[in-house]
Structure 1
Amino acid sequence: MPEYRRILLDGAAVRVVREGDLLVSPDGRSVPADKAVHLPPVEPSKIIAVHLNHRSRVAEFQITLSATPTYFHKPTSALNAHNGAVVRPEGCRWLNYEGEVAIVIGRTCRNVSPEEAGEYIAGYTVANDFGLHDFRDTDAGSMLRVKGSDTLCPLGPGLVTDWDFRGKYLRTYVNGTVVQNGSTDEMTWDMNYLVADIARTITLLPGDVLLSGTPANSRPVGPGDVVEVEVEGLGRLTNHVVTGPVPVRADVGAQPTESEEVLSTALGGDWEFRGIRPPRRG
């Protein structure tokens, strides 16, 4: 399965192909993969994410899944890359990881059937759909700041083509410990369905990204934590959490909160029974 990455090579953004432990540019230059400065593997015009898809996540919240998918939008300014820092703003506490598979569109796609949708997919990459739940009370409908704040959409390390999404494991690690362990087989709607659903009314362009949902056990992380998402056949996306250099401004807009809605979402819907609180790192 070919894997393509985007890296900074001698100061320029270059698309390279992975050959074993090396990343090789079109002109023949190479760099060890573990030494490269990675960029997001694609440059989307839009990033669309499904709210709930994995059955384990639905069961965790003890809710009934809607008959069809619902979605939210992450701005492209949220993009981040393999080995990039994820910023938790000063004054915020409820930053959650969500390991996912990202679908990457290969050619202009509009009004296609689920059976045709696979022909419009260029490949797949690993994603971490971080959520800043401190703003959930004010942005629960749009998820704009919750999911769209800067650095909250790491993708990578590469774009893998000719990958069969069926029966693949998905695992998230925090500081080396497995915290999510799911499978693409527990998705209610598969990759082709999601593409066809969105493309009914929204034209998908080459490079556009669809995030396909996360398994159970999304939980808060804090500064100093290393979060890795591994998907069978796609590789492992690594990021670390840091504290933002300045607090969220207090002279404008809604402020971070710790309501029942915030805590219930951040801690998996059963926080009041377990009394779990994340450490106040940073």
Structure 2
Amino acid sequence: MPEYRRILLEGAAVETVRDGDELVAPDGRRVRTEHARHLPPVLPSKIVAVHLNHLSRVKEFGARLPAAPTYFHKPTTTLNAHRGAVVRPEGCHWLNYEGEVAIVIGRSCRNIAPDEAAEYIAGYTVANDFGLHDFRDTDAGSMLRVKGSDTLCPLGPGLVTDWDFRGKSLRTYVNGTLAQDGSTDEMQWDMHYLVADIARTITLLPGDVLLSGTPANSRPVLPGDVVEVEVEGLGSLTNHIVTGPTPIRTDVGAQPTESDEVLSTALGGDWEHR
């Protein structure tokens, strides 16, 4: 399956093609994958994410799936890359990983049927839909700061075309220990359905990203932790957590909280055991 990666090569953003352990630029220059400075594999005009989709996560929260999927938006300033630093702002404590598959749109898409969606998908990549749950009390409706703060959408390492999403494993590791273990087969709504659903009223443009949901066991991580999301056939996306250099300002806006809503969401099935 062809895989394309965007990297920073001698000061320029370059799209490369993976050839084994090397990335090949259009002019023939080659870089070892372990030495490459990765960029997000695509530059979307918008990032749309589904709320609940994996049945294991629904079961974990004792929730009920709605009749149709619901969504939220992540600003493009959340974009991050393979081996990039995910920033937990000073004064915040409840930053959760969410390993996911990202759908990348290949051509302008509006008002299509699910069985037409494959024609509009360029490919897929690995995503980590980080959430800053300290702001869940104030942004529960929009998820703006929860899911939209800077650096909270790592994608990569590459865009893989001709990938069949059915029956693929999805695993997240924290410091080398397995944290999430799911499958695309436990998604209530598959990739084609999600694309068609969003495109009923929103035009999807080339490069746009749809995040397809996470399995059970999203949990908080700490500065210094290394989080790796591995999707069968798409590769592994690795990021590390750092503390932001300045605290959340206290002279404007709602402040981070630690309510039962915040803690129960951040800790998932572990909340009842506290």
Please name the residue that 1:188 is paired with: 188
Residue 81 of structure 1: CA displacement? 0.2
CA deviations 1:13-42 (Å, max 9, x no partner) are: 000000000000000001000100000000
Residue 85 in structure 1 maps to residue 107 in structure 2: no
Residue 58 of structure 1: CA displacement? 0.3
What pairs with 1:5-154 in structure 2 (closer than 5 Å)? 5-154=5-154
Cα distance in 2 for partners of 1:146, 1:170 equals: 23
TM-align CA RMSD: 0.5
Residue 257 of structure 1: CA displacement? 0.1
Residue type of the alignment partner of 2:62: Q
Q: TM-score, normalised by structure 1?
A: 0.97
Please name the residue that 2:202 is paired with: 202
Residue 269 of structure 1: CA displacement? 4.7
CA deviations 1:104-143 (Å, max 9, x no partner) are: 0000000000000110000000000000000000000000
Cα distance in 2 for partners of 1:256, 1:118 equals: 41
- Judge conservation of contact 2:217–2:269 (CA < 8 Å) in 1: no
What pairs with 1:150-229 in structure 2 (closer than 5 Å)? 150-229=150-229
Cα distance in 2 for partners of 1:165, 1:274 equals: 35
- SS of corresponding position for 1:268: helix
Corresponding residue pairs, total: 274
Q: Which runs of 5+ in 1 are unaligned?
A: 276-282
Cα distance in 2 for partners of 1:19, 1:269 equals: 42
Residue type of the alignment partner of 1:244: G
Residue 274 of structure 1: CA displacement? 1.4
Q: TM-score, normalised by structure 2?
A: 0.99
Task: Provide the identity percentage.
Answer: 83
Q: Which runs of 5+ in 2 are unaligned?
A: none
Residue 63 of structure 1: CA displacement? 1.1
Cα distance in 2 for partners of 1:269, 1:97 equals: 15
CA deviations 1:30-82 (Å, max 9, x no partner) are: 10001000000000000000001000000000011101000000000000000
Cα distance in 2 for partners of 1:152, 1:250 equals: 22
- SS of corresponding position for 2:268: coil
Runs of 4 or more above 2 Å deviation: none
